[in-house]
Copies of this chain bind each other. A is one copy, B any other.
């Protein structure tokens, strides 16, 4: 992998972040950090649930106590960002204030209160030889997090990893480097008050781009990488990583309004699915309206009146003159904006075929009052999340009752959909015998 890695991804907004390390030096650095993290993780694994929860509560308190320092460091990042011409949206993502810091600390406390998945017995059986088998959840090991400008990820991701017994190696965006170091210092101070080794939560000591390449190559040293950020970042990490990656690239989410949909529900749910927040991965990007649904014009008008631009096929355009013409690419586009593609389909078969072809496997929904149509949709749509009569914007670990999420995964192995503490564990088989030899 060349040191050009992530060169043009959103990760590197700051041109001052260059690659000066050789790949070999980057690999050595990552190996050293990873071995320290893994050693700390083994110590943590022996400490039990209460210590992990206490460490997060201490970290929250330390972060609150460090507020003046964190905000001062954040101001340095903001000044630099303004000087470098960062866009206002980027500056807003970067910005911390008392309220945001307090909510980061509260999130640490909330994660401390989540049930610990480690030690859970997934299943148990006694086999004819008399061996007693249990599958027991254990931490994965060392998790790498590669993220962009939001400094809250430093705390959020660290908390989820620690709560599930893992060590974490963090690599945040260069724009937020001072904020991240200040938050990290507070977290570590809290951990140490609980007796947890500081190396459980490490922040890369350099912003050198080559070190990111080292993380992606570190198979066997880092067990899993979670990229948190825009599509450019995720695509590069997925393309270049030799370490397993937990992520989703696109959220091209569909809502299919079935012929038997309640018209009022269809209008309110589609409006929410698109317009509540247009920039999140669970936002609807394509609306499929059954040709037999009688109230299409009301659904479409609800969206247009709320300020959404609609791009449709010819039959959709016939519903409302304000609907523009969709191009072939629209059906595969994640707008993350007040834009929606709309197609009219002839029944469930056509809706399922459209979704099979264009969905990114994130979240797809049907609106229907017909139970059989609902069950068919739930069974046949092969996405991480399939919904009946609900807004796709519910695709979220918090809304799913998971407490928090490290991300949403559309890969097919390990964990799928919103990934929280359980997705940060693996299991081992414990076998208890009485001297059995195999025949």
Binding site for B on A (CB under 8 A): 42, 45-46, 125, 127-129, 131, 133, 138, 140-141, 223-224, 244, 262, 265, 268-269, 271-273, 276, 356, 374, 378, 380, 382-391, 393-394, 399-401, 411-414, 416-418, 426-438
Contact with A428, one of B383, B430, B434 (Cβ below 8 angstroms): B383
Contact B386 A428 (CB under 8 A): yes
Contact present for A129 and B428 (CB under 8 Å): no
Nearest B-chain residue to A224, judged by Cβ: B413
Q: How far is the CB of A250 from chain B (nearest CB, A)?
A: 12
Contacts of A413 in B (CB 8 A): 140, 223-224, 244, 413-414, 426
By a CB distance below 8 angstroms, the chain B residues around A268 are 435, 437
Residues on B with C-beta less than 8 A from A388 are: 430-433
Question: In the complex, A400→B431 CA distance in Å?
Answer: 9
Known: A380-B46, A429-B384, A430-B378. A436 touches B390 (CB 8 A): yes
A272 and B390 in contact (CB under 8 A), knowing A141-B412, A416-B426? no
Report how far A213 CA is from B326 CA in the complex, Å: 39
| Known A382-B138, A386-B431; contact A127-B276, beta-carbon cutoff 8 A | no
Q: Which residues of B contact A436 (CB under 8 A)?
A: 269, 389-391, 394
Chain B residue contacts of A382, Cβ below 8 A: 42, 45, 138, 428
Cβ-defined partner of A429 (8 Å) among B244, B380, B385, B433 = B385
Contact A42 B432 (CB under 8 A): no
Q: Which chain B residue lies CB-closest to A241? A: B242
Q: Known interface pairs A390-B131, A390-B436. Does A416 touch B431 (Cβ–Cβ under 8 Å)?
A: no
A278 smallest CB distance to B (angstroms): 13
